[in-house]
Structure 1
Amino acid sequence: MYRPLSSPSTFRTPQPRQGGATAALLAASLILAGCSGGEDADASEPEPTFSSAPSSSAQETGDASRFDTDDIAELLRAEPGPLDPEDDAEEIIDRLTETFGEDIGEADPDEVFLELLNLAAADYREVQQYIDDVEVEFTDPGSGPDDAGVEDTGESVESGQSGGLDLHVLFDSSGSMGDELDGERKIDTAVSAVQDFIGDAAGSDNVQVGLLSYGDVSGDNCGSTEELYPLDAYDETRFNEALESQKPGDATPIATALEDVLDDVNAEHGDVTDRQTVVYVVSDGKETCHGDPVAAAKALADSDAEAVVNIIGFDVSDDEQQSLKDIAESGNGEYHRADSGDELRDLMREERSRTIDAWRTWQSENVDRLREEQSTVVDKSREIQSSGVDTSRAEQTALIAIVDELQERSEDGVSLGTGLRSSAVSRGTSIRSYLVSTLTSLRSDAVSEGTSLRSDVVSEGTGERSRIISEGSGQ
């Protein structure tokens, strides 16, 4: 997002800069028809007052050459004059007369105008400082809820990680998963439900999926796991084939499986902590290999990846429920219970609904925030433009009043007065045109970028919800 205007006291003091001739100002004017709001009104109309530096006859002027440039931005960065043309008109005229002599009417109007600005130019530094500093920036909405994944899985993870989601599925292939439940082997029911869930949760581009089986490896089941799908982008065919390849084994080495994931996470992340890690353990019973899954889950949660460990307990006996809940709690995750095939499928449907709701919320919140950030830039730039334009009008009117008085007091002052008035109008017109053009362009950029980002968010959110609903209805 953009940097807001600071208070005047925090601005740097611009240094005098050299430039071209004051007479070139008129040629540099940008006359904007229709959008300038009548800024080039007749100079005789009442204008708002403006403030220059505090009035004091003891104050010294700077180098008048700081106004000898056709670069409008440099003019607005210049130190103002020390005198107020409304309150100090007599002193300004006296000092001009002292500088150019009683025959000031014969002096070069350009030189007189530079000295007039040296004495009484308005202060535009705050306006130009805003233009120099403002940046049209919007908060990155990311790629989805909590940047593509945490809300998709229904879990709560601390913010601060925004590089995507690594989703690890640990699948129980112990012997009990071969038992029948509701006329179907539990392993087959679980495979089908996990396929549906992962197909939804891994739909975003920055989600990676890994599949680890524990309990079905021949031989020493308590010491073995099998990586069926190394952490990678989701490929539906390859993932489903890996999931369907499992066969019921003997033991339930949950701790070993979690430790294997921790090894992978440490190798994958290293010092990188901008990806979120969520682990789903699908199990129909407690640890049976004398490991410590609670400690393993806590180690994952305490790792640089700050992983979340969730447990899906499928047809778990009452006396084993608590052990699985303890694992989820130590892993900063949640325990989900499903006592039948229908309940497991319902659980996965609930996850799908939570995903849809998360995308809807993500879309709404980002659209609102982007609109607010756009309005902030637009409103502030209008405020700055109005302030600068009003100051310019007031300055032009005050300078012309000085010129009129100077002309009346000078012999042969008509030519001088005509030249000075022309320079005052040229300066005012150029400044106002510059402000309107520059700040209108800024607002246009903010509106264009904000509109584009909101359109992208709506398209992304609507598309993801449609995809999830479509996949769910086809199952």
Structure 2
Amino acid sequence: MKKFNGLMVAGFLSTVILTGCSDNEDDASKVPAAGQEQTAEEETVVEKKVAETETAEAAVHNVEEIVKEKGKYNIQQMTDQQKEELQAELEAAPEGMSGEEAYSFAVSLVAVDIEEAAEKFEAIDPVITMDSSTPEDSITLPQEETVNVAILLDASGSMAGQVSGGEKMKLAKEAVQTYAADLPEGSNVMLRVYGHEGTGTNADKDMSCNSNEVVYDLGVYDEQAFSKSLDQFAPTGWTPLAGAIEAAKEDLKEQKGENVRNVVYVVSDGIETCGGDPVSAAASLTGSAIQAEVNIIGFDVDNEGQAQLEAVAKAGNGQYKSVYSESDLNEYLKQEHSRLYWEWLAWGNDRYLEILQQSNDIAGDLLSYNNEIYGKSLAENNKMNRLQDELEEFGKFKDKEAADQYNKLATTRHETLTQYFRQEKERKDTIRKDIYEQLEKKVKETSEEKEGDYAS
């Protein structure tokens, strides 16, 4: 059982044998004279009385020892027969007992069993944890999630086509810039462009299918640098979509961990034209250690292209959205921000409920076990007081001083238990409340900050 701390005062435990009577001559008078036969019934009575006078000294100040002591009778569930047996033991108790002897005798009979409740109380850990934090660590506040957004922009020749609002490439660049600018503080963004070299001719196919490069390295958004990166290319060549997704896997290979989220957005107006397998590439990316999701924005895509891009998004554990105009594209990216807003709102609610539930469970357990221990100890103390009256009635105390000492020891026993567990409850409750307030504040601040970043 776990050692008790706090108020526990070291007590010295020893085994004592209580004398049956104060006068040795009285004992001798009860022994049969030489030649006188002793009946079996008389022998049994004598043996019983001798056994009952051997009582271990009961603890008074040592909480750990008090908790281990259990009386012969369960005073909270006594049958009529057990009540009679207890009465008979009191009547048969030795006369002339000191207060300490009578106290130990009474404890051996009616000490309540609180060991299980005490062990459960001591086992209560008041530290509220989140994620991987442990009681041995200092208070661990919830870690904020790192979001890495990789944008793969199709720069094949077809992106020079016109839709409602203007050239597809021009509109895509504007929408991508707006989206990157609206990412929450602390997020990282990168831009990889593909199919931006050569021409759409067969002669330039190899060059175009191998044109795949990062024009904005993964990092925090910088408006001027990001804008400059978008000005470096124009729509010209073929569509190496699979190659771009494979390259993104390499870009993000170091971005993994419990609180890292990787999101890939592909903006394309058509299918793979370089012989790659973008579905397999997306599945490989999502199934890797970085666990990125692949979302596809199909910009003015025909039916064949939609079917392939939907399959890529599905394999990448992401979403496919088909847009046909500037307003469609902007609305989709707006919806993405709204989705992230609600995800952060849910994150905050989930964390809050998690720490609230833990806090309530800890507080409830502390109160429940403390009340159980107090109630049993109070019942024991009341029974000890009644035993004092009966022992006095039967003339078992040596004198009035011995009876008073018995009462003092019984009271001290109850107060020792009550004070220890009350103070331990208060100590653990203080730890629980402090950690709860810190976690609640951190969750609230983080949730409100992220919700604000994504609010429309």
Shared fold by TM > 0.5? yes
Q: What are the residue-to-residue correspondences of 1:140-159 with 2, within 5 Å?
A: 140=130
Q: What pairs up with 1:128-167 in 2 under 5 angstroms?
A: 128-138=118-128, 140=130, 164-167=146-149
Shift of 1:212: 1.5
Q: 1:181 to 1:400 in 2, by over 3 A?
A: same
**Aligned residue for 1:436?**
422
Q: Please, which of 389, 403, 410 is the counterpart of residue 388 of structure 2?
A: 403
Alpha-carbon RMSD across the aligned residues, in angstroms, is 3.5
For 2:241, the aligned partner's letter is: I
Contact 2:152–2:267 (CA<8 Å) still a contact in 1?
yes
Matches within 5 A, 1:74-473: 74-75=64-65, 77-84=67-74, 87=83, 88-90=85-87, 92-93=89-90, 97=94, 102-104=95-97, 107=98, 109-138=99-128, 140=130, 164-201=146-183, 203=184, 205=186, 207-217=187-197, 220-235=207-222, 237-266=224-253, 269=256, 275-408=260-393, 409-410=395-396, 412-469=398-455, 472=456
**5+ residue gaps in structure 1?**
1-11, 23-55, 143-160
Distance 1:388 1:237, change over 3 A: farther
d(CA) in 2 for partners of 1:61 and 1:172?
A: 96
Q: TM-score w.r.t. structure 2 length?
A: 0.75
Distance 1:208 1:131, change over 3 A: farther
- Letter paired with 1:308: E
The runs of 5 or more residues in structure 2 that have no matched partner are: 14-47, 133-142, 199-203
The code of the aligned residue for 1:305 comes to: I
State how far apart, in whole Å, the 2-side matches of 1:132 and 1:314 are.
Answer: 63
Q: How many residues align?
A: 393
Partners in 2 of 1:180 and 1:61 — Cα distance? 107
Q: Could you state the TM-score of these two structures normalised by the residue count of structure 1?
A: 0.72
For the residues of structure 1 that align with 2:55 and 2:196, how far apart are their CA atoms?
87
Cα offset, 1:254, TM superposition: 0.4
TM-aligned CA distance change 1:411 to 1:63, over 3 Å: closer
- C-alpha distance in structure 1 between counterparts of 2:400 and 2:289, whole Å: 80
With over 3 angstroms needed to count, the CA separation of the structure-2 counterparts of 1:276 and 1:20, relative to structure 1, is: same
| Separation of aligned partners in 1, 2:410 and 2:351 | 48
Q: Which moved more, 1:345-354 or 1:305-314?
A: 305-314
Aligned counterparts of 1:62 and 1:357: Cα–Cα separation in 2: 72
Distance 1:229 1:126, change over 3 A: farther
Given that 1:283 and 1:314 are in contact with CA atoms closer than 8 Å, whether structure 2 keeps it comes out as yes
3-state SS of paired residue (2:274): coil
Per the TM alignment, residue 164 of structure 1 is displaced from its structure 2 partner at its CA by: 4.1
Measured against aligned partners, the alpha-carbon deviations of 1:308-358 in whole angstroms (never above 9, x if no partner) come to 211111122334221211211222221111101111001111112222222
Contact 1:141 1:366 in 2 (8 A): no
* Equivalent residue letter for 1:379: G
Q: What do residues 408-459 of structure 1 show as CA deviations (whole Å, max 9, x unaligned)?
A: 3235431111001111111112212222222233334333433432333223
Separation in 2 of the partners of 1:164 and 1:420? 67
SS state at 1:285 partner: coil
Contact 2:110–2:383 (CA<8 Å) still a contact in 1?
Answer: no
Give 1:251 deviation, angstroms.
1.4
Map Cα deviations across residues 150-185 of structure 1 (whole Å, 9 max, x no partner).
xxxxxxxxxxx9964433221112223234444543
Partner of 1:4: none
Q: Looking at CA atoms only, which structure, 1 or 2, has the larger radius of gyration?
A: 2
Distance 2:233 2:325 in 1: 20
